Each structure stands twice: as structure tokens, then as C-alpha cells.
Amino acid sequence: MALKDDRYTYRVTWSEDDQEYVGLCAEFPSLSWLARTPEAALKGIRKVVAEVVDDMRKHGEEPPEPIASRHYSGKFMVRVPPEVHRDLVLKAAEAGVSLNRLASAKLSQ
């Protein structure tokens, strides 16, 4: 079974504990698939996701929207201790940039 227009986010990594490759899907963090090759791990996790999405739809549940299809505003709030806030403001002032520009640069590293 293949999922039509599969736009979910997949990753394949090595599992030292299992001594196999593990296929993962960001939108379904509880699912995984172990295989001897990275290609088989990807194929396996995509099959499992397709089965889960099919099952969800059959039961009237809405599958998660793919991360790639979501729209982002570019804004999010981060809470930090007051002393960290002060230190970041000082660093931004010393660099001649806004706090927003400094935080954006640090987060994108």
C-alpha cells in the first residue's frame, strides 16, 4: 500500500541498540520501522504511515498535516531567564543589531 501524494517528513538513521537502520516519520513520532538497509527502512516506514493514515480516515479521524504543507508566520515566543535576556540585549547592542536579528542568527546556526 502506498499513500497517494505522500508529503510527510521521513528520516532514516542507524540504531546502535538494534544494529539496524530505523525509519522515522516526524508527523507520527510513535511509529518506526527497522530494516537491514536504509532503503528498506524508508520503504517500511512509508508503508506503516500509509496504513495508519488509511485506518485513521476509515475511523473518521483527520491525519496530521504534513510539516511541509503547513504555513509559518516566522514568529514564536521564547521565554528565557531575565539575566539571559539582559545579556542578549547587551550582545545585540555591542554588535549593532536588534535583539531579534541576534536571536535569529543564533537560532539558524
Considering the domain boundaries, does residue 4 fall inside one? Answer: no
CA Rg value for the chain? 20
Please write the tens of the pLDDT for every residue from 31-88: 999 999 999 999 999 999 999 999 999 999 999 999 999 999 999 999 999 999 999 9
Residues 47 and 76 placed together within one structural domain of the fold:
no
Residues 28 and 62 placed together within one structural domain of the fold:
yes
Tell how many helices (H) and how many strands (E) occur in the chain.
Answer: 3, 3
Residues 85 and 103 placed together within one structural domain of the fold:
yes
Res. 2 pLDDT band, cuts 50 70 90: confident
Burial of 24-55, coded b for 16+ CB within 10 Å and e otherwise, reads bbebbeeebbebeeeebbbbbbbebbbebbee
Give yes or no for residue 1 having a pLDDT over 80.
Answer: no
Q: What is the pLDDT of residue 109?
A: 83
Tell me which residue range forms the domain holding 77: 72-107
Residues 18 and 64 placed together within one structural domain of the fold:
yes
Q: Please name which of 86, 70, 59, 63 lies closest in space to residue 4, comparing C-alpha atoms.
A: 63
Number of domain units in the chain = 2
Please write the tens of the pLDDT for every residue from 3-41: 888 999 999 999 999 999 999 999 999 999 999 999 999
Enter the pTM of the model.
0.74
Residues 33 and 45 placed together within one structural domain of the fold:
yes
Is there a contact between 3 and 53 (Cβ–Cβ < 8 Å)? Answer: yes
